[in-house]
Amino acid sequence: MENRNMAHISSSSSSKPNIVVFPFMSKGHTIPLLHLAQLLLDRGLATVTIFTTPANHPFISQSLAGAHVSIVDLPFPRNIQGVPPGVESTDKLPSMALFIPFVRGLELMQPAFEQELEKIHSQVTCIISDGFLPWTLESASRLGIPRLSYYGMSYYSMAVSRDAAFSGLMSSPETDDEPFTVKSFPWIQITRNDFDEPFNRRDPSGPHLDFINQAVTATANSYGLLVNTFYDLEQQFADYCNHDCHLRTWSIGPLCLAKLQKNKILQSEKPGWMHWLDQKLAQERPVLYVAFGTQASISPTQLQEIALGLEGAEVSFLWVVKKSDVELLSEDFQSTVSERGIIVTDWVDQEEILEHPIVQGFLSHCGWNSVLDGICAGVPILAWPMMAEQGLNAKLVVEEIKVGLRVGTVDGRSKGFVTANNLKSAVRELMGSGEGKQLREKVKEIAKAAIEATSEGGSSWNALSNLINEIQREKEINSSKLTTVDICTK
């Protein structure tokens, strides 16, 4: 691996396209693009240069240990209002209320990005940047480099959101929980509460909306959009995005099936939670994996209900909890469930956990990465959306793909409070031998389809190949035109 302030591409690799990858500073956004980088390298499709910041560099270099990539560090902006010094990722923000100041602050990186990009731009075939870095389109355009956008969202969430917004139906219901029918997909009913701020308002406005509009406009004016899914999983929603939204999209996932090269030094010992899962396998006691991502904020009262629900469900579970939240769990709870439950506060390899044969259920916030991790591991999902587009992902999981159940709220609202009894019932149903067994059988079928899509000759495999070939041909044509102009002017 090449870790330099300025990337260098050797002459031996100059015949391959060189792809610049610029992830957004958040683990959930970064990891899929690292999977993509690994995929491009493993298949010999391109060389890769990754742009990041100093604090995010170690995670990237460790994730791609042994891979021949160049990493360019850009200085992180100083004095972003509200963002503590040294925080260079949304995972470490004290509150997600700082999201807009954070992403706006990143715009200050544009001059440094362009300065480094200009050093290698003649060798760069295209830029793949996160949709939350919309200013990279302007930088790419200045240097004549095509830009591909990546959001890490499902086609379903993009299509339903777009159709609801353009139809004007979002402002029609009198209450936030009154259902209305999506015009282009009449079998789907949604509410404003299926959306997060500011889209759950009748008349959304404000800085957050301004930023989303900027990001969407940049994507619409880019070369195209990469989508972490496979076509057969979301065919009708993919077609809508391509035709009705006039977007060029490529379905190149699930990217989680492109395994990152693990740092052998860091992986020399099996983590304690994996030993625990091995013990449960030996005891033939199926495990529920519980994780709500790094961004969601759970109230102390709700956290206590989760604990009581897991205790009452009487199933084995592995629960990933923020360190700050563990203190809110009583010692009685931890001692009561110690034989059949384990609480983990460290960063875990979620894919590795889900792929363990004893894990047979996943209580999830339904972030798109987690949905794909569960599907590809053949594990059904108990959906409990908490923020962003997770409410729509949950509907996709339960109503469209039919590989999960929805946790019931106390008042039936999509973002309502979940009692211990509701959680207990849902967990028992998911882990049981009735509907839970049917869901496990269904999700394994879809996992097989995902593997086929990403294998040689599959739809995602071919989509990535076709994309790389297309942008390489365009670069060669443009280079030929420039050479001809140069000759004619001499």
Q: Are strands 185-190 and 180-182 parallel, antiparallel or unpaired?
A: antiparallel
Return the structure tokens found at 465.
Answer: 């190949």
Residue 10 has pLDDT above 60, yes or no: no
CATH code of 305's domain? 3.40.50.2000
Q: Kindly report the average pLDDT of the chain as a whole number.
A: 90
- Tokens 């095509």 belong to 146
pLDDT (0 to 100) of residue 208: 92
pLDDT (0 to 100) of residue 9: 36
The whole-angstrom separation of Cα 367 and Cα 100 is 19
Tell me, yes or no, whether 145 lies in a domain.
yes
pLDDT (0 to 100) of residue 269: 77
Same domain, yes or no: 74 and 169: yes
Tell me, yes or no, whether 267 lies in a domain.
no
Tell me, yes or no, whether 217 lies in a domain.
yes
Cβ atoms of 244 and 184 within 8 Å: the answer is: yes
Mean pLDDT of 40-51: 96
In the three-class reduction of DSSP (H, G, I as helix; E, B as strand; rest coil), residue 342 is classed as strand
Mean pLDDT of 377-389: 94
E strands along 259-325, which residues? 287-291, 316-320
Between 117-131, 192-206, 231-245, 367-381, the lowest mean confidence (pLDDT) is in 192-206
Return the structure tokens found at 221.
Answer: 């004016």
Between 408-412, 459-463, 475-479, 481-485, the lowest mean confidence (pLDDT) is in 481-485
pLDDT (0 to 100) of residue 267: 53
Q: To 10 degrees, what angle do helices 459-488 and 27-42 make? A: 80
Residue 217 has pLDDT above 50, yes or no: yes
The whole-angstrom separation of Cα 291 and Cα 472 is 41
Same domain, yes or no: 120 and 255: yes
Same domain, yes or no: 15 and 65: yes
Residue 241 has pLDDT above 90, yes or no: yes
Residue closest to 64 by CA, chosen among 31, 99, 90, 29: 31
The whole-angstrom separation of Cα 368 and Cα 378 is 15
Cβ atoms of 351 and 256 within 8 Å: the answer is: yes
Tell me 182's DSSP state: E
pLDDT (0 to 100) of residue 329: 83
pLDDT (0 to 100) of residue 11: 36
Residue 282 has pLDDT above 60, yes or no: yes
Domain count within the chain: 2
Burial-class residue 339 by CB neighbours within 10 Å (0-12, 13-18, 19+): exposed
Between 26-40, 60-74, 262-276, the lowest mean confidence (pLDDT) is in 262-276
Tell me, yes or no, whether 266 lies in a domain.
no
Tell me, yes or no, whether 265 lies in a domain.
no
Tell me, yes or no, whether 329 lies in a domain.
yes
Same domain, yes or no: 203 and 309: no
Tell me, yes or no, whether 121 lies in a domain.
yes
- Tokens 């990237």 belong to 60
Residue closest to 418 by CA, chosen among 426, 52, 180, 333: 426
For 415, the domain range is 272-451
Q: What percent of the chain has pLDDT over 90?
A: 71
Residue 233 has pLDDT above 60, yes or no: yes
Tell me, yes or no, whether 313 lies in a domain.
yes
In the three-class reduction of DSSP (H, G, I as helix; E, B as strand; rest coil), residue 187 is classed as strand
pLDDT (0 to 100) of residue 443: 97
pLDDT tens string 312-343:
999 999 999 988 888 788 777 877 887 899 99
Instruction: Give buried/exposed letters for 457-485 (b at 16+ CB in 10 A, else e).
Output: ebbbbbbbeebbebbbeebeeeeeeeeee
pLDDT (0 to 100) of residue 412: 76
Residue 345 has pLDDT above 50, yes or no: yes
Same domain, yes or no: 430 and 295: yes
Mean pLDDT of 387-411: 94
Same domain, yes or no: 184 and 295: no
Same domain, yes or no: 114 and 256: yes
Instruction: Give buried/exposed letters for 112-144 (b at 16+ CB in 10 A, else e).
Output: bbbebbeebbebbbbbbbbbbbbbbbebbeeee
Same domain, yes or no: 173 and 296: no
E strands along 268-415, which residues? 287-291, 316-320, 341-344, 359-364, 381-383, 404-406
Interacting residues of 185 by C-beta distance below 8 A, sequence separation 6+? 159, 160, 163, 236, 237, 240
Same domain, yes or no: 311 and 246: no
Q: What percent of the chain has pLDDT over 70?
A: 93
Same domain, yes or no: 238 and 178: yes
Same domain, yes or no: 281 and 232: no
Same domain, yes or no: 406 and 466: no
Q: pLDDT confidence of 363, banded at 50, 70, 90?
A: very high
pLDDT (0 to 100) of residue 36: 97
